[in-house]
Amino acid sequence: MEESLTLKKLRERFPASIIDTHSFRGDDTAVVKRVDVVDICRFLKESPDLSYNFLMDLTAVDYLQMNNPPKTERFEVVYHLYSIKYNHRVRIKAPLTEADPTIDSLTPLWAVANWLERECWDMFGIRFDGHPDLKRILLYEQFEGHPLRKDYPLTGRQPLIGPKN
């Protein structure tokens, strides 16, 4: 299958940082090194023939229990970008290790990254360097742990008042 324009451009521009690309069911995906995420996103946003002006979604995945096949890095931060002008989408993924789940913040590029990164921190405990105010957003400050990590139990309740469980 022909590789899409975005992936081709990315490969040309960042040959060293693209780990892998695929287009499963038509969703263009590039797996990249985490150090270059901000540069890549800036390139995607600002280059005139791509102009990905929307950060549609930012989330993470915990691959702890993935055994089909197992992954070497535990976390992956996933960005979905969209361009109104060209009406195309791309997915950028950046693997992070369990020992150092840190990645650069996208807040200088998109305002919405602020809250999305806070959510990611809240749910997965992934730190975003350069984020202006990285604190919990959906849960409360007293909450310990990060519930969307696969090793957090589904019913691990931490009530503020009332009976414990």
Partner 1 sequence: MEKTATLARELNIREMTLHMGPSHPAMHGTIRMFLELDGETVVSSDVEIGYLHRGFEKTCENRTYHQAIIYTDRLNYVSPLINNFGYAMAVEKLFGVDVPERCKYIRVIMSEICRITDHLTNVGASAMELGAITAFLYMIKAREMLWKLIEEVAGGRGVTPSYVRIGGVKDDLPEGFQGRTLEAFKVTREVLQEIHGLLTKNRIFVDRTKGVGAITADEAMSYGFTGPCLRSTGVAYDVRKAQPYMVYDKMNFEVPVGTNGDNYDRYLVRMEEIQQSMRICEQALFSMPPGPIKIDDPRITFPSKKDVYGKMESLINHFKLFMNGHGIMPPKGEVYQAVEGANGELGFYVISDGSGRPYRLRCRPPCFMIMSGVSRLVNGGMVADIVPTFGSVNMIGGECDR
Partner 2 sequence: MAIESALGESVVLTRTDKVLGWARKYSLFLYPFVTACCGMEYMATAASHYDIDRFGAGLPRFSPRQADVLFVVGTISHKQAPILKRVWEQMCEPKWVVAFGGCTCSGGPYDNYATVQGIDTIVPVDVYIPGCPPRPETVLDGIMKLQEKIQNQKQEL
Give the residues lining the site for partner 1 (CB under 8 A). 24-25, 27, 29, 53-57, 59, 61-62, 65-68, 78, 80, 84, 87, 89, 91, 110-112, 114-116, 119, 123, 136-140, 147-148, 152, 154
The residue (of 62 and 104) whose beta carbon lies closer to partner 1 is: 62
153 binds partner 2 (CB under 8 A): yes
DSSP collapsed to 3 states, the chain: CCCCHHHHHHHHHCCCCEEEEECHHHCCEEEECHHHHHHHHHHHHHCCCCCCCEEEEEEEEECCCCCCCCCCCCEEEEEEEEECCCCEEEEEEEEECCCCCEEECCCCCCCCHHHHHHHHHHHHCCEEECCCCCCCCCCCCCCCCCCCCCCCCCCCCCCCCCCCC
Q: Is 140 in the site for partner 2 (CB under 8 A)?
A: yes
Q: Is 112 in the site for partner 2 (CB under 8 A)?
A: no
Binding of residue 108 to partner 2 (CB under 8 A): no
CB of 27 to partner 1, least distance (A): 6
| 137 contributes a contact to partner 2 by CB under 8 A | no
Chain residues binding partner 2 by CB under 8 A are 139-140, 147, 152-163
